[in-house]
Amino acid sequence: MELLTISDISLSFGGLRALSNVNMEIQSGLITSIIGPNGAGKTSLLNCISGFYHPTSGEIYFNSRRLTHSSPHQVSNMGIARAFQNLELFKGMSVLDNLLLARHQNLRYNFFQAFIYFGKASRLEAENRKFVEDVIDFMELEPFRKRTVGSLSYGIQKRVEVARALTLAPHILLLDEPMAGMNIEEKEDMVRFVMDIQNERNITVVLVEHDLGVVMDISDYIYVLDFGELIGSGHPKEVAVNPKVIEAYIGE
């Protein structure tokens, strides 16, 4: 079943064309990867999906709901969360507080209820705390829960970034190079987490990643961009032998 439909998306910055008539269909329950050389337009596409950029032309639909010109918080409320390539965490706060803060949109109570902290307010706080604790356990962050994020290794910070997105309980998780800058052991852990997110939490994953070995191993479907244009798509074995893809990566 199609969960996210991208139709003829183009994006321009003045005379620079970042995306040109890109079409994609993200199927529910799969790991779909978007690959391409540096500057191919991968992050620009994620920015269009998540509401940070609004495409110059074209349409984006999520569960038949138009989100082409939605704001980031509207996209998040629809059920699309994103883990950023450049960490978007509060490094002076603990892991637990970073994840609790990400759940603020679920704390729907008024000032009076918050002041007396009884009834609805205390119930919602308890439910959100329980959800965050479940994500901490799932992402194996228990040893770091009270540590400030800035004191953690880069690999653990990347894991916290993914956990922050998971606390939003998304239907689709956008991962922008979650393994960039990691050593082999950290990368293996992240691969395992991505697969568990799909299998155990039943979340559709859209992955942007430069490590082709990882992409070919875990992807159900792959789209390939080059200079903002879609040059190939298919299952990993199909993409691996696509002449246009080979030319884009290693030349003719």
The answer to the question of residue 197 being in a domain is yes
Radius of gyration from C-alpha coordinates of the chain: 19
Separation in Å, CA 182 to CA 28, 179, 188, 193, 210 = 28, 6, 9, 14, 12
pLDDT of residue 131: 86
66 and 138 belong to one structural domain: no
122 and 147 belong to one structural domain: yes
The range of the structural domain enclosing residue 201 comes to 1-79+171-252
User: Could you give the residue ranges of the DSSP H alpha helices within 79-211?
Assistant: 95-102, 111-116, 120-138, 154-166, 184-199
- From 120, 143, 169, the end of a domain falls on 169
74 and 111 belong to one structural domain: no
pLDDT of residue 115: 44
187 and 246 belong to one structural domain: yes
157 and 109 belong to one structural domain: yes
The answer to the question of residue 55 being in a domain is yes
pLDDT of residue 111: 46
Task: Return the CATH number at 188.
Answer: 3.40.50.300
138 and 179 belong to one structural domain: no
Instruction: For the chain, 252 residues long, give each residue's pLDDT as a single digit of tens.
Output: 668 999 999 999 988 899 999 999 999 999 999 999 888 899 999 999 999 999 999 999 998 899 999 999 899 889 999 998 777 788 889 999 889 887 766 555 444 444 445 555 566 667 778 888 999 999 999 999 899 999 999 899 999 999 999 999 899 999 999 988 888 899 999 999 999 999 999 999 999 998 888 999 999 999 999 999 999 999 999 998 888 888 887 665
- Domain tally, the chain: 2
